[in-house]
Amino acid sequence: MNYQHANFSEMENVRLSDSVIRISASIGTVLAVLLIPVMPATMLVALTLIAIYTGLTAFLGWDPIYALMKKSQPQPQTSDTATVTSRSSRAEQPIAGEHKKAA
């Protein structure tokens, strides 16, 4: 049998800024559940599930809804971008999109 193992870093589809927002929303939801004295049971269950979902996706760095929508972090550009080099070799390597002009 041939198994393909995915690298966990390839599975991450939640950015750091998105994780911070999710953790804040999760904490806020937990506080709402704890601090609101009278709450219908359905609202209590719904808010608890939302807090668990947002917290887990923030800590894992992977969201199944994003995965279904194929939303992920932008992939680093490859050969079309210029690389940072030392000053001595910078003149020798053309930047992407530049062409040497014939003199």
Full residue range of the structural domain in which residue 14 is found: 8-73
pLDDT value, residue 103? 52
pLDDT value of position 85: 47
The pLDDT tens digits of the residues spanning 28-64 come to 999 999 998 888 999 999 999 999 999 999 999 999 9
Amino acid identity, residue 10? E
Cβ(30)–Cβ(51) under 8 Å?
A: yes
Determine, yes or no, domain membership for 82. Answer: no
Is 12 part of any domain? yes
Measure the CA–CA gap between 59 and 56, rounded to whole angstroms. 5
Domain count along the chain:
1
> Domain for residue 62, yes or no?
yes
Q: Which residue's structure tokens are 């014939």?
A: 102
pTM exceeds 0.85: no
DSSP class of 8:
H
Asked, for residue 59, whether it belongs to a domain, the answer is: yes
The answer to whether residue 94 sits within a structural domain is no
